[in-house]
Amino acid sequence: MKKTIPVIGMACASCSANVERKLSSLKGINSASVSLPGRSALIDYDPNVISLETMKKEINAIGYDLVIEEDRSAVEIERHEYAVLKRKALFSWVIALLVMGISMHWIPVGSAQISNQLALLLALFNLVYCGRGFYVSAFRQLRHGSANMDTLVALSTGISFLFSVFNTFWGEQTWGSRGIEWHTYFDASVMIITFVLTGRLLEEKAKNMTASSIRKLMGLSPKTAHIVEGENVQEVPISAIEVGDILEVNPGEKVPVDGEVTWASSFMTADAAYVDESMITGEPTPAMKKIGDKVLAGTIPSQGKFRFRACQIGGNTALAHIIEMVQQAQGSKAPVQRTIDKVSLVFVPIVAGVAVLTFFLWWIIGGNAALPQAILSAVAVLVIACPCAMGLATPTALMVGIGKAAEKQALIKDATALESLRKVNAMVIDKTGTLTIPNRNIDFTKSDSLPLDEREALKPHVQEAIADLQGMGIDVYMMSGDKEEAAKYWADKAGIRHYQSKVLPQDKENLVRKLQKEGKTVAMVGDGINDTQALALADVSLAMGKGTDVAMDVAQVTLMGDDFGAVPGILRLSHKTVRMIWENLFWAFIYNLICIPLAAGVLCLFGLDFQITPMWASALMALSSVSVVLNSLRLRFL
């Protein structure tokens, strides 16, 4: 069984890596892919070996939670957690301003001793109330031999707070008596928590925007429906609908479940209604629905009303399958992300090691103020190191890219497909059903006597799409079981230079294999059972939404709108998404490469009096994560 389960409590890339590692280690789980921006886990497991309850218990033990209960809403939980995070960030800012005012003597409170003690109390409240989550999480991680961003925050704020407490009560005796100038750093411990909380608040807001495509799809499903019982029509919750129930839908209302029309009427046609299916298929023209026709959940009658028999309900509707496919795709990982996850797992221990090394080096070369300088430098290193930016670089771009594709009625099954599309330089295309539409009003026994353009019609946008693909440097090959004359006619009309006629399914597979042996990355586009061999073999496979279920099951991308003209746009989206991933990774890498040495005080060794303080380190760390997410969101407008 494969299931997407919401995960609560993840804050950084190390968090998602820890959850994924724990799930993958459990007996009965074949594979687990955890998405930080999606806040979900895509789990392939054997329900006979392991239950969801066992998974939840194991994940709870390391400080996170799986939402497996039907009466718990992950959206509501996240909304509540966002409100709590917002409140803590606000409190932390108030405390931070007060502590800064006291430390900088902007707020006169008496002697230095009283100022330090008052700052101590405020900082303690900030740590206990606003920063408690960091310490709880760090402790749980420590118990299980792992670490995450919370570990770095807990270490840095704990060290700076305890050192400041020591200085408050024993600073003069320890340092002052030796002629060493001493300070407290309560403002640093408070500002670190304040900036981290603020960064997470902005990050959560941006993450919600990356998941907007899923929310739009979920918003297509209504909460209630009108059920027909004899002469009465009653409004009921959608959960109360059963297979076989007769439901009524009025103009402007959303169809609640999939079904079959039993009665229809409109002012245009006495026995039919017109339904807007654009949100599912992308077709702008309303579809006529008569008795016996299928209707899909989420579609809307634009003219007339109808009654229908419920056939597919709950998670079995076409809309539910689309939502599940998009969720699984957004939760899947591109090959580059696997490497980043491995780096994230060792990143925190490495940073802790760098901080310890920084401490001892400054202690040795720091002169009279060796210990304070060593502590502050180590704290700054702990704070500024951010695995979050690297961890968010790939999944946020993928979520936005796959979501944008879904809005364009292209369902991408996994991240690997989206990444592979940009490499395509050869495309094999089936003719009938993909490029052309047969004239179904003609008896096929008489079709041979008719002109070719009366037997079939080229789909809209095909000529523009073919020219576009060839302009992108892609070699296009049309494969047809039709006669030579017909195949040549439609290839010429579509603008395709390479074609084959009278082909069998094996011939399509052979062409894909031949092109791959020539070193090409091959995409196959088809719609029928006779295309499945080639679809399965191709590097990337695309199926038309009105094709066979078998073709759509095999294909990695399904074009719900059945419009071949969308193909070039999907390839361009792949290029933009992958480019965005590498942009994000570049800046995340550069950030750590530059900022960690500056926080450690490397420039001071060369006589330059510049070093990033713990307070500014926390601000830069928060900014790096937010900037990666915001950069990914640019995909929505490209």
Are 393 and 628 within 8 A, CB to CB? yes
Q: What percent of the chain has pLDDT over 70?
A: 90
Quickly state the pLDDT bin for 510 (edges 50, 70, 90): very high
Mean pLDDT of 603-630: 83
Of residues 214, 238, 215, 213, the one with CA closest to residue 225: 238
Sequence-separated contacts (24+) of 527-532 with Cβ below 8 Å: 527/430, 527/433, 527/434, 527/551, 528/430, 528/432, 528/433, 530/430, 530/481, 530/504, 530/505, 531/430, 531/505, 532/505
DSSP string for residues in 243-285: TT-EEEE-TTPPP-SEEEEEEEE-SS-TT-EEEE-HHHH---S
Dihedral of the alpha carbons of 116, 121, 122, 127, in degrees to the nearest 10:
120
Position 103 pLDDT exceeds 90: no
Position 182 pLDDT exceeds 90: no
Segment 10-58, tens digit of pLDDT = 877 778 888 999 999 999 999 998 887 778 898 999 999 999 999 999 9
Quickly state the pLDDT bin for 408 (edges 50, 70, 90): confident
Segment 208-255, tens digit of pLDDT = 665 666 666 667 778 899 999 888 899 999 888 999 999 999 998 999
Sign of CA dihedral 67, 69, 73, 77: negative
Quickly state the pLDDT bin for 442 (edges 50, 70, 90): very low
Mean pLDDT check: name the lowest of 38-47, 239-248, 308-317, 617-626. 617-626
What is the model's pLDDT at position 463?
95
Indicate the residue type of 492: D
Mean pLDDT check: name the lowest of 4-13, 275-284, 424-433, 579-588. 275-284
Position 448 pLDDT exceeds 60: no
Instruction: State the Cα–Cα distance between residues 97 and 638, nearest whole angstrom.
Output: 40
Q: Please, which residues have CB within 8 angstroms of residue 105's CB and are 6 or more apart in sequence?
A: 115
Are 161 and 153 within 8 A, CB to CB? no
Q: Can 430 be counted among the known catalytic residues?
A: yes
Longest dimension (CA), the chain: 110
Give the distance from CA 349 to its chain's centroid. Answer: 27
Instruction: State the Cα–Cα distance between residues 117 and 139, nearest whole angstrom.
Output: 27
Which residue would you say has higher pLDDT here, 625 or 598?
598
What is the model's pLDDT at position 445?
41
Dihedral of the alpha carbons of 287, 288, 293, 294, in degrees to the nearest 10:
20
- Exposed, middle or buried: residue 468 (CB in 10 Å: 0-12, 13-18, 19+)? middle
Indicate which residue of 150, 430, 482, 539 is catalytic. 430
Segment 189-202, tens digit of pLDDT = 888 898 888 878 87
Quickly state the pLDDT bin for 453 (edges 50, 70, 90): low
Are 176 and 182 within 8 A, CB to CB? yes
Instruction: State the Cα–Cα distance between residues 357 and 216, nearest whole angstrom.
Output: 50
Which residue would you say has higher pLDDT here, 132 or 385?
132
Pure H helices in 312-456: 318-331, 335-365, 370-384, 387-407, 415-421, 444-447, 452-455
Segment 361-402, tens digit of pLDDT = 988 887 666 788 888 888 889 888 866 677 778 778 888 888
